[in-house]
Structure 1
């Protein structure tokens, strides 16, 4: 993702899915906390799995790599050194809504970061909010995946997705 060029999103739309993605933050460390290799993977354009250089870097727990951003920290920090490639294997179940638009089953996600389980069938409390409490609003059963442009140079490769 080239800084300040906007998010990248898929043309195809996905609901329940398995997503494999590899990513790396810059080798040269600039900044600290949220200023180091910051990006995100937005499942269904709403639910963020954080991408961040969290290697030997302090930040708030639910903002580090592999967190469900601003909701649930990872079980462990599985980051590799800056410049090394990290992998996420993400298993996502989309939320379910009734005819009135009320959530009847929240989204859930399992994340394996560099071969280590860091989110285990974690309930997602609603769309990612930078400030405020997440609240579900009914949306389509399938939406694009987005890779966030947060102003930092983050590289992605070997991306594949499978509908479940």
Structure 2
């Protein structure tokens, strides 16, 4: 009986300690804006309510030179020359679906070559890399000439591939000096292949990367390299973090007692 009583007292003490711990609350002293309400798409591929739908299967009217590509049965196929969005974007989330030509012809960089050029200068490579060898920082999902994908997540030619790209634009000061680099995260068919990669600059073919000051927003470009790459379901949403205002120093509240964090 005495043993049971001791156990009960110990249990009560433990519960009291848990209650005391839970009663203490850390407050950062920040007054936050209320996050906006966004309605997600019916699937992860569908555009959320705040996205700009750049290609919905009907036309390429939101793109410069879009009239020179082929739009049929909900699909846009590479035509003559690159296309570029009429609108400009900075920090963003980009969804794009693409398929390499069939039958597969050519090899290396000559097979299903295209590219997503963010801000018209930072390229995520599009290439038929299904059982097709090339230089690793030029295969599908590479940050061109800077970083290979962590893995090759390609589907066979003719099947649809999905890129979900999360991009942070570089920042420049008033004198055009780089303050912070560009960063990019890429999912290829739901597989993480680039994780917050810090770009070394732009992604040219014939020289080292470099940063040159440019506006905070710029167009999105799709290449044309003579391969009939197909595209569908392209949408983009600008990303703006919720802002907060520091209204007091951080503190711990425990009941009626407030302890500043120093």
* TM-score grouping bracket, smaller chain normalisation: over 0.9
| Superposition deviation, residue 76 in structure 1 | 0.2
Deviations 1:124-163, CA, capped at 9 Å, x for gaps: 1111110111110000100000000111111110000000
SS at match of 1:34: helix
More helix by share: 2
1:153 and 2:228 correspond: yes
**What's 2:199 paired with?**
124
| Superposition deviation, residue 102 in structure 1 | 1.0
Please list every run of at least 4 consecutive aligned residues from structure 1 whose deviation after the TM superposition is greater than 4 angstroms. none
- Larger Rg over CA atoms: 2
- 1:78-93 to structure 2, matched below 5 A, reads 78-93=153-168
1:2 and 2:78 correspond: yes
Runs of 5+ unmatched residues, structure 2: 1-76, 240-262
**What's 1:68 paired with?**
143
When normalised by structure 1's length, the TM-score is 0.97
Alignment root-mean-square deviation, CA: 0.7
Bigger relative contact order, structure 1 or 2, given CA contacts below 8 A and separation 6+? 1
The size of the alignment, in residue pairs, is 163
CA distance in 1, matches of 2:188, 2:145: 18
SS at match of 1:133: coil
CA distance in 2, matches of 1:13, 1:127: 17
**What's 1:27 paired with?**
102
| Superposition deviation, residue 2 in structure 1 | 2.6
